Amino acid sequence: MENGGVDYTINEGIANIRFWHPKSNSLPSSVLSKLAKTITDLGNKEEVKLIILSSEGDRAFCAGASFDELISIENFEGGKEFFMGFARVINAARKCPKLIIGRVQGKAVGGGVGMASACDYSMATKYASVKLSELAIGIGPFVVGPAVQRKIGLSAMSELAINATEWRDANWAREKGLYTEVYDDIESLDEGIKKLSDKLVNSNPEAMAKLKSIFWEDCDHWDELLENRAAMSGQLVLSEFTRNAIASFKAK
């Protein structure tokens, strides 16, 4: 539990991936690596017809990058590699031939917004507010930006990225297209996910795979794009400004 983790179950064609970390489901490199691999592996399993991505707990879906790991980065190579963890998760979701439903039960920050955006269909509770806080610590939502922009458009993504300290509530996120539905509580959310997944698991797998490929048209360059974005973040995280900003956030 101390370092977080990822596990999954497969039941009647539905794979449920769950990730966790004691600090509001933040994402260190180890969790990012396992998450990307799990998405890829499940996408290649013939028995899997549909994937649900979820996290542990009730009020935090994902707090984004691990501040403990960010503050420990000592060189450009290490910084780029850390942010490549987010790039690999987003690209794994993009390339996965199975539809991915995001179960966003609580707040999503930074990389958490990116993960919700990389899902094909995200459903949330009213507690699932969103924030792209990267600029507030001296970097920017460079790696997750393409996924967020693709989902909610440049205007809404810019609003989140520029006003980096302000939360936008779940209804705002639904209106912008990040969430498809917003529920009052987790029980209702899970009922909604079950209703949809029961329909999808009985749909034509080939048709769903082709549909997903259409959703992600014009994104074939993302391997290179997200690597370049990871390099941007990897350089900025070494700056004195960013180190001081992260230290201030950790001290709160």
User: What's the CATH code, domain 5-200?
Assistant: 3.90.226.10
Q: Please tell me the predicted confidence (pLDDT) of residue 250.
A: 73
* H or E stretch covering 108: strand 107-109
What strand order describes the sheet that includes 121-125?
5-11, 14-20, 50-55, 100-104, 121-125, 181-183
- In the chain, DSSP finds a helix count (H) and a strand count (E) of 10, 9
Least confident window among 63-72, 117-126, 210-219: 63-72
Supply the pLDDT for residue 3: 84
pLDDT greater than 60 at residue 222: yes
Q: How confident is the model at residue 1 (pLDDT cuts 50, 70, 90)?
A: low
**Tell me, what's the pLDDT at 247?**
84
Pick from 1-5, 179-183, 206-210, 236-240: least confident: 1-5
Query: Quick one: which of 249, 237, 240, 245 has its CA closest to 70?
Result: 237
Question: How much is the mean pLDDT over the chain?
Answer: 96
User: Which residue carries 């959703």 as its tokens?
Assistant: 215
- pLDDT band for 86, please (50, 70, 90 cuts): very high
pLDDT at 55 over 90: yes
Instruction: Give the pTM.
Output: 0.95
Which residues are within 8 A (CB) of 195 and not within 5 positions of it... i.e. 6 or more apart?
none
Q: Where are the domains of the chain?
A: 5-200
